[in-house]
């Protein structure tokens, strides 16, 4: 009887181990072959934030062309925080949805009011601007939740320059340059989608 229980316990432990192992292998895309071209992936691309089952491994080049397509077709406005090393994800969050889910945080209302005050033309090329770029000096893997809780104005804008308006092409150009020159990788990258205003933020769960 006791031996049966011990054996059952062992079987249970092995099953849990295999399940966790398989799950972590399917969820962490960095280092796998790019799902588009086969080169080594430094990123995972996700259609929606936290849709971890459907993350596609991507190399920088394929990720950037996907982001160009996504940012160009997005019809809302988004505040985009410059990529920062540390947090595992770089994802779009629709502001109103965020506010409904996390009522105690300030970022959603802060983003909507910053977007209201955004100038209409791209700082870099003069075309119509839909993105508001905020630099990320000081943000890292340990403190990203301060920005979510207390807002952009209260945290990031205290130590970074004034936000600047950008068009889709110039915005993705800046993201690409930062990912490349700072050698930043993200297990999950998710673009603005549809027409809801929101924010793109380096974060973790
Ligand atoms: Zn690729
Ligand atoms: Zn531009």
Q: So what's the pLDDT on residue 23? A: 52
**195 falls within a domain:** yes
**5 falls within a domain:** no
pLDDT over threshold 60, residue 50: yes
**148 falls within a domain:** yes
Q: What distance in angstroms lies between residue 171's CA and the mean position of ligand 2's atoms?
A: 7
- Residue 52 pLDDT grade (very low, low, confident, very high; cuts 50, 70, 90): confident
* Beta strands 56-58; 198-203: pairing state: unpaired
Residue 161 lies in domain: 31-203
Q: What distance in angstroms lies between residue 10's CA and the mean position of ligand 2's atoms?
A: 60
Q: So what's the pLDDT on residue 83? A: 98
- What integer is the mean pLDDT of 100-113? 97
Q: What distance in angstroms lies between residue 41's CA and the mean position of ligand 1's atoms?
A: 7
pLDDT over threshold 80, residue 21: no
Q: So what's the pLDDT on residue 49? A: 86
Give the residue with greater pLDDT, 55 vs 9: 55
Nearest ligand atom owner, CA of 33: 1
- What integer is the mean pLDDT of 134-147? 97
Q: So what's the pLDDT on residue 5? A: 75
3-state secondary structure 95-125: HHHHHHHCCCCCHHHHHHHHHHCCCCECCCC
For 154, which DSSP code? Answer: T
Selection from 134, 97, 136, 105 nearest residue 117 by Cα:
134
Report residue 103 CA to chain centroid gap. Answer: 20
Nearest ligand atom owner, CA of 127: 2
2 CB contacts (<8 Å, ≥6 apart)? none
**13 falls within a domain:** no
Selection from 189, 58, 79 nearest residue 129 by Cα:
79
**What pTM was estimated for this model as a whole?**
0.86
Q: So what's the pLDDT on residue 10? A: 75
**10 falls within a domain:** no
Q: What distance in angstroms lies between residue 48's CA and the mean position of ligand 2's atoms?
A: 25
Give the residue with greater pLDDT, 53 vs 66: 66
pLDDT over threshold 90, residue 8: no
Structure tokens at 203: 């974060």
Q: What distance in angstroms lies between residue 40's CA and the mean position of ligand 1's atoms?
A: 7
Give the residue with greater pLDDT, 5 vs 122: 122
Q: What distance in angstroms lies between residue 153's CA and the mean position of ligand 1's atoms?
A: 36
Residues with CB under 5 A from ligand 2 (ion): 122, 124-125, 127, 167, 170
Total of domains in the chain: 1
Q: What distance in angstroms lies between residue 200's CA and the mean position of ligand 1's atoms?
A: 22
**12 falls within a domain:** no
Q: What distance in angstroms lies between residue 199's CA and the mean position of ligand 1's atoms?
A: 26
Phi-psi region of 83 (alpha: psi -120 to 50; beta: other; left: phi over 0): beta
- Residue 24 pLDDT grade (very low, low, confident, very high; cuts 50, 70, 90): low
Percent of the chain with pLDDT over 70: 92
Nearest ligand atom owner, CA of 57: 1
Q: What distance in angstroms lies between residue 60's CA and the mean position of ligand 1's atoms?
A: 7
Nearest ligand atom owner, CA of 124: 2
**23 falls within a domain:** no
- To the nearest whole number, what is the mean pLDDT of the chain? 92
Q: So what's the pLDDT on residue 1? A: 65
pLDDT over threshold 70, residue 188: yes
Q: Is 180 exposed, middle or buried (CB count within 10 Å of its CB: 0-12, 13-18, 19+)?
A: middle
**121 falls within a domain:** yes
């Amino acid at each position: 009887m006791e031996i049966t229980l011990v054996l059952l316990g062992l079987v249970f432990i092995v099953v849990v181990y295999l399940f966790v192992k398989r799950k972590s292998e399917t969820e962490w895309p960095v280092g796998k072959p790019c799902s588009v071209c086969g080169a080594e992936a430094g990123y995972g691309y996700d259609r929606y934030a936290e849709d971890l089952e459907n993350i596609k491994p991507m190399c920088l080049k394929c990720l950037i062309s996907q982001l160009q397509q996504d940012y160009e077709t997005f019809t809302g406005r988004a505040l985009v925080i410059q990529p920062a090393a540390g947090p595992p994800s770089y994802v779009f969050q629709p502001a109103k949805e965020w506010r409904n889910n996390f009522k105690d945080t300030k970022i959603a209302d802060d983003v909507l009011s910053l977007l209201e005050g955004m100038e209409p033309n791209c700082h870099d090329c003069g075309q119509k601007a839909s993105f508001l770029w905020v630099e990320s000096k000081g943000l890292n893997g340990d403190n990203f939740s301060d920005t979510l809780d207390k807002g952009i104005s209260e945290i990031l804008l205290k130590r970074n320059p004034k936000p600047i308006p950008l068009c889709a092409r110039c915005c993705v150009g800046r993201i690409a340059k930062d990912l490349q020159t700072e050698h930043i990788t993200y297990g999950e990258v998710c673009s603005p989608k549809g027409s809801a205003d929101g924010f793109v933020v380096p974060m973790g769960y």
